[in-house]
Amino acid sequence: MVRYFLAAVVLAFLAIVLGLMVLGWWLRRRKQRGIPSLAVAPTELTDPQEFEGLYVSTTSVENPLDRIAVRGLGFRARTTVLVAAEGVLFAIAGQPNSFLPLADLKNVGRASWTIDRGVEPDGLVVIDWTLGEQALASYFRMENPEGFFTAVHDLIKLGSDAK
Q: Establish if 67 belongs to a structural domain.
A: yes
> Whole-prediction pTM value?
0.82
If you compute the radius of gyration of the chain from its CA atoms, what whole number of angstroms results?
Answer: 19
Structural domain boundaries enclosing 131? 49-162
pLDDT of residue 84: 95
pLDDT of residue 162: 62
The Cα–Cα gap between 73 and 111 comes to 19
Classify residue 156: in a domain, yes or no.
yes
Query: What per-residue confidence (pLDDT) applies to 85?
Result: 92
pLDDT in tens, the chain (163 residues): 888 889 889 999 999 999 998 887 787 777 777 777 788 888 889 899 999 999 999 998 988 888 888 877 878 889 999 999 999 999 887 778 889 999 999 999 998 878 767 778 878 999 999 988 889 999 999 999 999 999 999 999 877 666 5
Q: Which amino acid is at 154?
A: D
Number of domains forming the structure of the chain:
1
132 located within any domain:
yes
Q: What is the C-alpha to C-alpha distance for residues 62 and 40, in angstroms, rounded to an integer?
A: 25
pLDDT of residue 156: 92
Torsion sign over Cα 129, 135, 139, 145: positive
pLDDT number for residue 22: 86
Full 3-state SS string of the chain: CHHHHHHHHHHHHHHHHHHHHHHHHHHHHHHCCCCCCCCCCCCCCCCCEEEEEEEEEEEECCCCCCECCCCCCCCCEEEEEEEECCEEEEEECCCCCEEEEHHHEEEEEEECEECCEECCCCCEEEEEEEECCEEEEEEEEECCHHHHHHHHHHHHHHHHHHC
pLDDT at 163: 59
CATH of residue 107? 2.30.29.30
Q: How far apart are CA 105 and CA 83, in angstroms?
A: 12
pLDDT number for residue 52: 96
Is 39 contained in some domain?
A: no
Buried b (16+ CB within 10 A) or exposed e, 7-33: eeeeeeeeeeeeeeeeeeeeeeeeebe
